[in-house]
Homo-oligomer: A and B are copies of this chain.
Amino acid sequence: MSSFIGCGARYGGARAVIFGAPFDSTASYMPGSRFAPAALRNESGAIETYSPYLGRDLEDIGVHDMGDLELPPGDAEAMLRAVERRAAEILKDGKIPVMLGGEHLVTLGAVRAAYEKYPDLRIVHFDAHTDLRDEYLGAKMSHATVIRRCWDILGDGRIYQFGIRSGTREEFAWAGGGHTNLRRFDLKGAETLADALGGAPVYLTVDLDVLDPGVFPGTGTPEAGGVSYAELRDALKAAARCDIVGADMVELSPPQDLSGVSTLTACTLLRELLLMAGASTDGSNELIK
């Protein structure tokens, strides 16, 4: 399987472009998300290209799979540069980059590129964790600081966080001080996001650990009490009505996914996300039931 199922479009004609960022060096609990892009492609043959939820088929929309970046383990700065370069190139060509992590820090590289093109960028963030520390074990660049680093770029009020159920007291207080819009525990509010943002460009980042570990054990820092698959899918569908200019799906960790179910769940969610993103940007939202 050399590309994700149904993503056989040529680059030139593609509306969305997926690429892998197999990096997990700052993982503090369980490393392994570096293996996610390969696992997603290898196992994607087990799902259908057609979504009965959306009534659309991956074969109908143009997605190209560029494969993985080559990233040296242990060098976060090199990784960030490589991700930014790749995302900028795709954005320059008028396409939507959809990045497959890897750990959450990879998001920062893509956000840098998206901000460069869209200075009024917003971030919509699904996660179990705040990711708002200013540093973690002495490091500024970490999966635990990544949204704080994004805030360094975007500033107050531009980041919308959903499903957050873990963080330090300080992180929650900092967010509550107006720096980000943080929704605790569930995904309520996602349904009004598109109206609230009124056409502003949005980078969508999905940390899969927002899901309950019962349905998604295959991640590096699972946290009890998450949302169901249907809740996440519905919230993504609502969020996809925004003007999505880039997206990612991070923190699947195949070594923790002993049953293989998390990988398949991520495959299905990626299909839905691609179908949603394809719809949201080509004006054909009305096709989605």
The CA-CA distance from A280 to B168 in the complex, in Å, is 23
Partner of A260, one of B50, B72, B222: B222
Q: Is A255 a contact of B258 with CB atoms below 8 Å?
A: no
Cross-interface CB contact of A225 among B31, B168, B221, B233, cutoff 8 Å: B233
Q: Are B212 and A229 in contact (CB under 8 A)?
A: yes
Asked if B259 and A26 sit within 8 Å, CB to CB, the answer is no
- Residue among A25, A52, A165 with max Cβ neighbours from chain B (10 Å): A52
Question: Is A196 interfacial (CB-CB < 8 Å)?
Answer: no
Q: Give complex CA distance A255, B32 in Å.
A: 10
Interface residues of A in 37-76 (CB under 8 A from B): 38, 42, 46-48, 50, 52-53, 57, 70, 72-76
Contact assessment for A166 and B47 in the assembled complex, using a CB-CB cutoff below 8 Å = yes
Binds B, one of A86-94, A134-142, A239-247: A134-142
Complexed CA–CA distance, A68 and B115 (Å) = 41
| Cβ-based interface call for A285 (8 A) | no
Interface flags, A206-231, vs B, CB<8A=1, else 0: 00000011111110011111000110
Residue of B nearest to A27 (CB): B73
> Which of chain B's residues have a CB closer than 8 A to the CB of A75?
74, 138-139
CA of A184 to CA of B230, assembled, Å: 14
Decide: A224 near B259, CB < 8 A? Known: A72-B139, A184-B52.
no
Q: For A26, give its contact among B74, B76, B142, B233 (CB under 8 Å).
A: B74
Cβ-neighbour of A73 out of B28, B34, B164, B255 (below 8 A): B28
A134–B2 Cα gap in the complex (Å)? 28
User: Cβ of B213 and Cβ of A264 under 8 Å apart?
Assistant: yes
Chain A 11-29 against B: per-residue CB contact (8 Å), 1 yes, 0 no?
0000000000000111111
Whether B168 lies near A261 (C-beta < 8 A) is no
Whether A259 pairs with B217 at a CB distance below 8 angstroms is yes
Chain B residues within an 8 Å CB radius of A142:
72-74
Judge whether A151 is part of the interface by a CB distance below 8 angstroms.
no
Interface: A265 (CB within 8 A): yes
Q: Interface on A for B, CB 8 Å cutoff?
A: 1-2, 24-32, 34, 38, 42, 46-48, 50, 52-53, 57, 70, 72-76, 78, 136-139, 141-142, 164-169, 172, 184-185, 212-218, 221-225, 229-230, 233, 255-261, 264-265, 268-269
Offer 11 A-B interface pairs, CB within 8 angstroms, sorted by A: A30-B260, A47-B223, A48-B167, A48-B168, A57-B169, A213-B261, A218-B259, A222-B261, A224-B268, A224-B269, A256-B259
